[in-house]
Amino acid sequence: MIRGAPAVSDLPPGAAGVAAPSAAAEVFRVRAMVDGDLAFVMDSWLRSAWHAEQRKLAARGVGKRERLRASRGWFAVVRPQVEALIASDGVLIAIACDRDDESHVAGWVAIRADQELKLYVKHAYRPWGIEALLRGAVEAV
């Protein structure tokens, strides 16, 4: 069960608090990524990128069988690229988590300087305004 009380976002240390225009800020807060978040971030980044690639191929008229054949080895090629990007200097990953349970992650955003590299929100939380909460936290950095 998701619980929470209104409070101010705390990402990153020293940044101003962020108020989201939705109920998301009452239930979720934004924090910096910790080691325990890395597997979820990698998995969701890779899977969403793979699905996007599949949609592009389908839009070009490539059949399902051909798309799947073309995607063999895709993860082996793209995973090291994403790992290197995450590990590079200046990349910050902000996590939207339940205020009462930091291990309950609803989404994340990866940024470098003023550039958003990738934003991901679990499907069930997309109507909650998590995207706006994460983008608001990024603007406060």
| pLDDT (mean) for 120-124 | 95
Distance CA 14, CA 3 (A): 26
pTM over 0.85: no
Confidence of residue 137 (pLDDT cuts 50, 70, 90): confident
CB 70 within 8 A of CB 57: yes
Strand order, beta sheet including 105-112: 28-32, 91-98, 105-112, 115-121
pLDDT tens for each residue of 20-77: 445 778 899 999 999 999 999 999 999 999 999 999 999 999 999 998 887 888 999 9
Domains defined for the chain, CATH in brackets: 24-140 (3.40.630.30)
Distance CA 99, CA 45 (A): 23
Confidence of residue 140 (pLDDT cuts 50, 70, 90): low
